Amino acid sequence: MRKRVVVTGIGCVNPMGHDVETVWKGLLAGESGVGHTTIFDASSFPTRIAAEVKDWSVRQVGEDPAVWQRCGRHTRFAVGAAKQAIRDSGLDLDQVEPTQFGVYLGSGEGNQDFESFTRIMTAALTPEGLDHAAFAKAGLELLDPVLELEQEPHMPSGHLAALFNAQGPNYNCLTACAASSQAIGEATEIIRRGEATVMLAGGAHSMIHPFGVTGFNLLTALSTRNDAPTRASRPFDRKRDGFVLGEGAAMVVLEEHDQAVRRGAPILGEILGFGSTADAYRITDIHPEGRGAIRCMQMAMQDANCGPESIHYVNAHGTSTTVNDRVETIACKGAFGSLAPKIPISSTKSMMGHLIAAAGVTELIVCLMSIRDGVLPPTTNYEEPDPECDLDYIPNQPRETKCDIALNNSFGFGGQNITLIVGRYSP
């Protein structure tokens, strides 16, 4: 019999707030974390809005800001979310065997050192082109090697391992918007296989910088509703025009069930199912018939040994892009069949924006809170139904209802699909 995997701790830092309870309260109130971009001067960009983390410091979780100041924003967010999750789990790290404690993140690249790079290019560009010798000389003089290292996507997982003395498996994946969900699924499998008894899993990302915004603008993926930031993210609405870029981190503590029970851990839910597929289609487009997404949800339900009749809530990928929302609707119909119209679905990206690599884990925590409280968060800004998106998207108001099993979808550029199923814990 395979090992059961339970969630014993959760934590987050995102545009809606700096801890889970604050974020959850804001989601149920239909609040928005979206505003005009302040991290950099976006006045000349097509998109001038974002969901930024405001007024955050690692001091809030008992860390010295001076120690972390040269790390990327995503690493600082990761530290905040991880310390919350460990505290929430009640783990006494002195009692945890270090080699049985691992870290698996879905974390994005760090912030670029734009100022140094600009100075280097100024020194190296000539009327004839790039002077490679001058570029090398300026780079060696101006670049900070620590800042260069901190741009690597796996730095947060390394920092967290050192912070908590987690000497077990340590991985990072960067499968775009599916990354942190993949991390949770793979961390679950590590525990199921007996390679660790505790895994800190989740994600962290911040792409609110000139390169990040430029890239998504070139892909026409971002909303340009600059005059109404809080109304810009509108999943499944007929007038949706793209997603709102967000940032943040979220973490869950996963434990082998018997160990969690022995130590009297607060069990918040159980990871029941994990599905992973590829569209094998186009790099920037989801398959028009949702073939990968359908199979992913079916795999997760098979892994969880449940059918569509057992799913009480779906937290959709729901990015607010024209194609994604339409195809996810098609995929839900393909996976759930005749029950699709009866299963409540919502996209909390309507309020917190799209946290990219940190999105999936954040939304899994939302599923856990829905199970705990028996209330489903709404899809806000849903004003005009789209005939091609005709399911129950919980428009604009939360809904009190039974929720024992929830399904979370995460789909990434490149055709990566991850589905997680989490359930109410039962001994």
- Residues marked active site are found at 177, 317, 354
**For strand 35-36 and strand 129-130, is the pairing parallel, antiparallel, or unpaired?**
unpaired
Residue 345 and residue 393 in contact, taking contact as beta carbons nearer than 8 Å: yes
Nearby residues of 33 by Cβ (< 8 Å), 6 or more positions away: 14, 15, 16, 26, 51, 52, 246, 351, 352, 353
Nearby residues of 3 by Cβ (< 8 Å), 6 or more positions away: 191, 192, 194, 256, 257, 258
Find residue 334's DSSP bridge partners.
Answer: none
**For strand 101-107 and strand 170-173, is the pairing parallel, antiparallel, or unpaired?**
parallel
| Start-end of H helices in 230-348 | 257-262, 291-303, 322-336
Encoded tokens for 27:
């989601």
C-alpha 367, offset from chain centre: 13
Rounded to whole angstroms, what are the CA distances from 380 to 47, 261, 366, 394, 400?
20, 38, 15, 9, 16
Encoded tokens for 263:
């130590």
Residue 418 and residue 299 in contact, taking contact as beta carbons nearer than 8 Å: no
